[in-house]
Amino acid sequence: MTFERLGTMNVNAEGHLEIGGVDTLKLTEKYGTPLYVYDVALIRDRARGFKKTFEELGVKAQVAYASKAFSAVAIYQLMAEEGLSLDVVSGGELYTAIKADFPPERIHFHGNNKSVEEIHMALDYGIGCFVIDNYYEIDLLENILIERNEKASVLIRVTPGIEAHTHDYILTGQDDSKFGFGLTNGQAEKAIKQVLHASASFDLIGLHCHIGSQIFETTGFKLAARRIMDKLVEWHGTLGFDSKVLNLGGGFGVRYTAEDEPLEPSEYVRQIMEEVRDVANSNAIAIPEIWIEPGRSLVGEAGTTLYKVGSRKEVPGIRNYIAVDGGMSDNIRPALYDAHYDAVLAANPEKVAEETVAIAGKCCESGDMLIWDLPLPKSNAGEVLAVFCTGAYGYAMASNYNRIPRPPVVFVENGVDKLIVARETYENLVQNDLSL
């Protein structure tokens, strides 16, 4: 079986899977399994690719890492090194960013139900802007700003009425969504008027939208960009509102399996900008500064999870199961979204497959299946299975279900491995428990 080499993946002289110049089997000997491994060079390459495309187009822009994909001190520091901005959606993500010394002026605070405590925290740290999601938040934020005698930069999140080609659970741009103000039903215009009226508290710098996740074509992005730009032309005349910033979100697809055919990140950017420029130039309005929020497309393909093979169950005429020492506790996506993955045996990733197996997790749930039909060579207990493209929403959504400690995270680059999140211990699991 051959596999598509992502980033710095290679087969070394010993025939083992290598990432970032480091033998994955040596990583498991050093850190144990399960283990999340991140290819730092690939993350840097993706970040620089987005920025370079905007530079080539001559467009003023910000590329903000949508950190819900993977949040940790080290990944925030890496994004800061690459000159990216940061999208956070909770007090915990914000706190992590501050611990990482991320420049607060480049932090954007999202979320549909920000708490009073989170808003005060963000103001105390001096973040760059809030993305306002609903009328309740307008009133809440205004009252807090009046109380503090402060003014905040804000964007208004709109839902442009575009349904992206993705899983229903991660659609966010259509009218029926918990996020944002409807663009087509008058909610967005009402919100803009309300925020402009409270100009003593708000500096309304622009609009934000996000149409979904894991999107492989540009049609939805182009439609959303044109629909919002057309509205900006209208509001320029009726409200005197000129959007300095247009944040078009993220959702750019990545390759989980051979069936996935995502575009190059630069292609999404170029086609979106064609729509923005066309409307702006046709109506003699200024092109806003463009912000985007890649998350999965920065870190997804850079992540590989290493597991140790354990038990085997053969159901004659039906299926052969192989269990690994992780599962839905470190990757909930197959159970939550029916997500698909590719994997190989790390000791010999190019060995010809001899059977098709189902990769089961160790959690006490029938639905704890990582991969249903995976061609593999014959494997034995103790061998290492490498599951690809787990860099987004693996560690971020990991849990302690069945009281399983969360795995560690290791960065690899130029032949060097560095532990950036330690493995949880059993003691960690009970440290907040209280006795009767």
How confident is the model over 291-329, as pLDDT tens digits?
Answer: 999 999 999 999 999 999 999 999 999 999 999 999 999
Q: What is the β-pairing status of strands 152-159 and 129-132?
A: parallel
- CA-based nearest residue to 134, from 163, 114, 153: 114
Q: Tell whether 227 is in a known binding site.
A: no
Reply yes or no on whether the pLDDT at 91 is more than 70.
yes
How confident is the model over 143-162, as pLDDT tens digits?
Answer: 999 999 999 999 999 998 87
DSSP state of 402: G
Q: Tell whether 31 is in a known binding site.
A: no
Residues 1 and 344 sit within 8 Å (Cβ to Cβ)? yes
pLDDT the model gives residue 263: 85
Q: Tell whether 251 is in a known binding site.
A: yes
Distance CA 410, CA 376 (A): 26
Reply yes or no on whether the pLDDT at 173 is more than 90.
no
Cis bond upstream, residue 34 (ω within 30): yes
| Cα separation of the two ends of the chain | 55
Q: Tell whether 240 is in a known binding site.
A: no
Q: Tell whether 274 is in a known binding site.
A: no
pLDDT the model gives residue 245: 97
Distance CA 396, CA 217 (A): 26
Q: Which helix (H) or strand (E) holds 416?
A: strand 416-421
From the list 129, 209, 363, 364, the catalytic residue is 364
Is the torsion defined by CA of 371, 373, 377, 378 positive or negative? Answer: positive
How confident is the model over 65-80, as pLDDT tens digits?
Answer: 999 999 999 999 999 9
Task: Give me the residues paired with residue 132 across strands.
Answer: 156
State which CATH number among 2.40.37.10, 3.40.50.620, 3.40.50.970, 3.40.50.2300 fits the domain covering 10-32+301-430.
Answer: 2.40.37.10
How confident is the model over 212-271, as pLDDT tens digits?
Answer: 888 888 888 888 899 999 999 999 999 999 999 999 999 898 989 888 888 888 898 999
pLDDT the model gives residue 383: 98
Q: Token pair 């080609």 is at which residue?
A: 165
**Catalytic residue flag (residue 364):** yes
pLDDT the model gives residue 83: 98
pLDDT the model gives residue 220: 86
User: What percent of the chain lies above the pLDDT cut of 70?
Assistant: 97
Q: Is 407 exposed, middle or buried (0-12, 13-18, 19+ CB in 10 A)?
A: buried
- Outline where DSSP puts E strands in 52-165: 61-66, 85-88, 107-109, 129-132, 152-159
User: What residue spans define the domains of the chain?
Assistant: 10-32+301-430, 40-298
Distance CA 201, CA 255 (A): 43
pLDDT the model gives residue 162: 77
State which CATH number among 3.20.20.10, 3.30.70.20, 3.40.640.10, 1.20.1300.10 fits the domain covering 40-298.
Answer: 3.20.20.10
Query: Side by side, which strands form the sheet with 17-19?
Result: 10-11, 17-19, 22-23
Q: Tell whether 296 is in a known binding site.
A: yes
Q: In sequence order, which residues have a C-beta less than 8 Å from that of residue 20 and are 6 or more positions away?
A: 7, 8, 37, 39, 40, 41, 411, 412, 413, 414, 415, 416, 417
Distance CA 241, CA 263 (A): 34
Reply yes or no on whether the pLDDT at 1 is more than 60.
no
The amino acid at residue 316 is P
pLDDT the model gives residue 169: 53
pLDDT the model gives residue 3: 73
DSSP 20-71: TTEEHHHHHHHH-SSEEEEEHHHHHHHHHHHHHHHHHHT--EEEEEEGGGS-
Q: Tell whether 294 is in a known binding site.
A: yes
